[in-house]
């Protein structure tokens, strides 16, 4: 069986969704499914590890924002791990970075707050 494009794992009692190098219209539906699977695990915090992601288009951003709304409605939290300058710029220009707790590393995002 091939490796999933958006693996969902658990670390430190948090759910982690790891994203590939690009998120766009071609894989946004799979991204949404992965975030729904993560939320279905019933843990209050989902971490989206975008360490390897260099590009995210508007469909991927839309998936993130919808997942954030759903997490908040259920009393949960959605955290992003963003390292790359290109992705940081995309998030800043669109204003999405101000909506989420954004961390520079997965280790930081996995810490209790």
Task: Give the chain's mean pLDDT.
Answer: 95
Q: How far apart are CA 14 and CA 46, in angstroms?
A: 6
Question: Hey, what CATH topology would domain 8-108 get?
Answer: Transcription Regulator spoIIAA (3.30.750)
So where are the chain's domains? Answer: 8-108
CA nearest 58: which of 11, 34, 90? 90
Predicted TM-score (pTM) of this structure: 0.95
- Is 6 in a helix, a strand, or coil? coil
pLDDT in tens, the chain (113 residues): 567 899 999 999 999 999 999 999 999 999 999 999 999 999 999 999 999 999 999 999 999 999 999 999 999 999 999 999 999 999 999 999 999 999 999 999 999 87
Q: The tokens of 99 are what?
A: 């909506």
């Amino acid at each position: 069986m091939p490796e999933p494009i958006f693996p969902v794992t658990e670390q430190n009692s948090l759910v982690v969704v790891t994203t590939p190098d690009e998120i766009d219209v071609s894989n946004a539906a799979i991204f949404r499914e992965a975030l729904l699977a993560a939320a279905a695990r019933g843990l209050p915090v989902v971490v989206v590890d975008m360490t390897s992601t260099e590009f995210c288009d508007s469909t991927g951003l839309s998936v993130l924002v919808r997942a954030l709304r759903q997490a908040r409605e259920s009393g949960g939290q959605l955290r992003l791990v963003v390292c790359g300058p290109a992705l940081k710029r995309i998030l800043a220009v669109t204003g999405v970075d101000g909506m989420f707790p954004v961390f520079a590393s997965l280790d930081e995002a996995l810490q209790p707050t």
